[in-house]
Structures are given as structure tokens and as C-alpha cells.
Amino acid sequence: MDKLLNFLNKAKSKLNERLILLHIVSKDRDVLDLIINLNTEDQLYKDGIRSDGSKIGTYSNLTIEFKKIKGQKYDHITLKDTGDFYDSFKPFVDSNGDIEINTDPIKIDVFGDKTNLIEKYGSNIVGLTSENIDKLNKVLIPKIRKYVLEQVF
């Protein structure tokens, strides 16, 4: 009985949800890339939506003309002009065990003016929609399962 209790206590100490996510998110490049791509390419670029599913908006007529000249998407706000904003996305696991994304929201617009994208468009331009959280979970759950089995056995 003591061996079983020791085994269970050892297993319990290794099965901290935050530490498991921290291990997977920080060490698995595929997971990091998925989180970034779901937020940038899927939500912002393809759909022009925030993490709550709301539309970010449309460009002004002048910006649409600039976007057309540059050969960029212009039917909705993508927050992708140079790609610097998207390139700054860095997922991490916070102290509560939630997956968050750090980013540099300060960008220079086509007119050379500094713009804080989060102040202008809202903090929820960074973060995943519930649909994309489901997609992420489908990838994370097997990885978590594998990690737990490796730690316990």
C-alpha cells in the first residue's frame, strides 16, 4: 500500500496543469506556430476579427488605395502591413496556467506615424476565438496525454 501511495504522490506532484502546459507550449515549436498562426493568419488576416469574433473594421478609402497599390488585402482590416506586428507574437503560459500572447503593438503606419494597435483596435485583437481554442485543444490534448504518461510511467 505504501508503494502505491508513494507512486500516486509522485505522479500528483508531476501533474501540475500549469507546468504541463508550460513544458508543451515552451518546447514544442509546432504548438507555438499554431497559436501564432491561428491568431494572425486565421483570425486577423483571413477574417479581420478579434478574439471575441467581432469585426475589427474596414480601411479608409485612402488606405484601401495604398493597399491596392501594394497588392495587399483591403476588404477588411488585417493589421498586416509590413508583417512586424504578426512577427512580434510570442505565446506563453501565465501564472494561472492560461496561454497568453505577448506582442509589440507599436507600429509605424503608411504615413510614418506611430500607432498603438491595441489602443486603437482593442486588447482582444490578441488572443484566440473560441473556435480557434477548440482547434488548439485538439492538438494539445494528445500532447498532454503523452506527456502525462511519460511522467507517470
Q: What is the pLDDT of residues 1-43, one digit of tens each?
A: 677 777 767 766 667 888 889 889 888 999 999 999 999 999 9
- Confidence bin at 71 (pLDDT 50/70/90): very high
Instruction: Give the whole-number percent of the chain exceeding pLDDT 70.
Output: 93
Entry pTM:
0.86
pLDDT at residue 1 in the model:
67
pLDDT at residue 148 in the model:
87
In the chain, the number of structural domains is 1
CA 40 and chain centroid, separation: 8
pLDDT at residue 151 in the model:
82
Domain ranges, residue 125: 2-152
Asked whether the beta carbons of 47 and 132 are under 8 A apart, the reply is no
pLDDT at residue 110 in the model:
65
Asked whether the beta carbons of 79 and 109 are under 8 A apart, the reply is no
Q: Side chain identity at 9, as an amino acid letter?
A: N
C-alpha cell at 60: 479608409
